[in-house]
Amino acid sequence: PPPLRPPPPFSPAPPPPPWIGISDPNLLNYLSRLQTSVSTEYAFNYFCARFPAHDGCRQQQQSQLQAQQPLPITLQPTIATTTISPIPLIQIPDSFQGVPSELRSRLKHLSFQMLDDKDKRKILKTCSRKINCFEQSETAAKKRVAVKRYEIALNKKIQPYAFDVERSVELRHLRTQQVKQAMLRRAGIGDKVIAADDGTFQDDILLTEPQSNWILNEINALDGRRKRDSLFFENAPTQKWPTGEPIKCYFDATLNSDDQEIVKRALRAIERNTCIRFEIVAERPRSQYIHYIKNPDTAFCGLSFIGRVEPVNPIYLSFLCVDLIGVTVHETMHALGINHQQLRADRDDYVKVQWDNINPQLYDYFAIADTSQFTSYGIAYDYYSIMHYNPFVGGVDANKPTIVPKRQPERFMKIIGQRKGLSDRDVELLRVMYCNPGCEDKVVYCGLWTLKGLCNARSPGSWMKQNCRRSCGFC
């Protein structure tokens, strides 16, 4: 195959605003516009995280702010009185219905696999030696509070007459936690580990309740707790956006002009080489739109649902992290239906997960994604993808990697997790997904078979031409 080339970098972010003197009373007015109730020290760090080259971001000025009395952040525990309904039974399609046996036999990397005994011992050593795997960390607790607060605020804004918003958000978070715990159970370590209860999935993804219910039914089917039903895959809850019309985008009032410019540059980067078009609207639509919101919180860089959801796809951005445009592109790609690169079904052919350095409570960061919902469309694994994790994510020792490339590790250790630009294969995936309407795959595993060179194979070739037209490029 041709050598991979690095993606072209995004255009630089807009220049910072003029520094406001530390003794100027207008400083507090400026900081108050950050829409946060945390400490003044935190707000100062917000500014300097975005504009570290400013002369104003000096140690003595930081000390002056640190001397001021901070506003406390109170952690709210999970609502103890909230009861969660039983997992509804969903008709999960049999993805192998009508598939030739020789094609079935070519699949070895599927989702929700058991850890082998060696890896299980490695990951559980962490529980006995480094962390308490039955207790929630302060980081997870703070993140859950932050995510819940922001979700409740948005839901009240877009549905002011909705009943019991707090309970609805809490129930969805509880269902997400059920998913993470079920994945641990499936891996064979559920009785030894309590998943991080931080309100998110894979660190920066929010799950809808139908998505959680789907995954739980998938895992229960694999465990033999229920049988699959024969339905077409299109009933899966992860949905694409309609093709042939622009995707409406709305900027929340929390975004200032610089923040808006960052989002605009991210959207232009996606538009530049694809058929996808975005339309920025001044008034909030009633449904089917992306809502960009600023939440300056150190708990996360960005959060998004995966795929189109109703009535709105919120994308929460802290604007506190480096590579702001890249972070925005990453979260927008989630909204378009694209999952993390290193969770592909074929990832073990390209990266090695260092289970002895994995935080067991963050197992969902490393479990292969649900292959009944996500497909590669025949596009090869991409170390340069803007959707790839960095090599140190989710580790108990921040100085040791958790993900190591199997091919040219010294080179690609410096590459994976980049947020500098869209790679060629990122662009290709978007084009395949959105830029050839009417060209479809009938089976979700077509992408895997395409990568194995089976599109034109003598025996299953005719079946592939009829059922895998998109991944094989037959239309």
In tens, the pLDDT along 24-55 reads 444 445 444 444 444 445 555 555 555 554 55
pLDDT attached to residue 56 = 54
What does DSSP assign to residue 219? H
φ, ψ at 314 (rounded to 5°): -75, 140
Helix, strand, or coil here: 134?
Answer: coil
Q: Is 54 annotated as a binding residue?
A: no
Is residue 433 pLDDT above 70, yes or no?
A: yes
Selecting among 331, 410, 428, 440, the annotated active-site residue is 331
Q: What is the dihedral of CA 340, 91, 207, 253, to 10 degrees?
A: 110
Q: Which of 100-104, 247-251, 344-348, 370-374 has the lowest mean pLDDT?
A: 370-374
Exposure of 104 by Cβ count < 10 A (0-12 exposed, 13-18 middle, 19+ buried)? Answer: exposed
In tens, the pLDDT along 332-375 reads 999 999 999 999 888 999 999 999 999 999 999 999 876 667 78
Q: Is 340 annotated as a binding residue?
A: yes
Question: What value does the mean pLDDT take over residues 56-82?
Answer: 41
Question: What value does the mean pLDDT take over residues 158-186?
Answer: 92
Boundaries of every domain in the chain: 26-66, 438-475
pLDDT attached to residue 76 = 42
Q: Is 334 annotated as a binding residue?
A: yes
135 among known catalytic residues:
no
Total count of residues recorded for the chain:
475
Residue 383 near residue 415, CB atoms below 8 Å: yes
Question: What value does the mean pLDDT take over residues 299-328?
Answer: 94
pLDDT attached to residue 62 = 42
pLDDT attached to residue 287 = 83
Question: Please, what is the angle between helix 138-158 and helix 165-187, to 10°?
Answer: 140
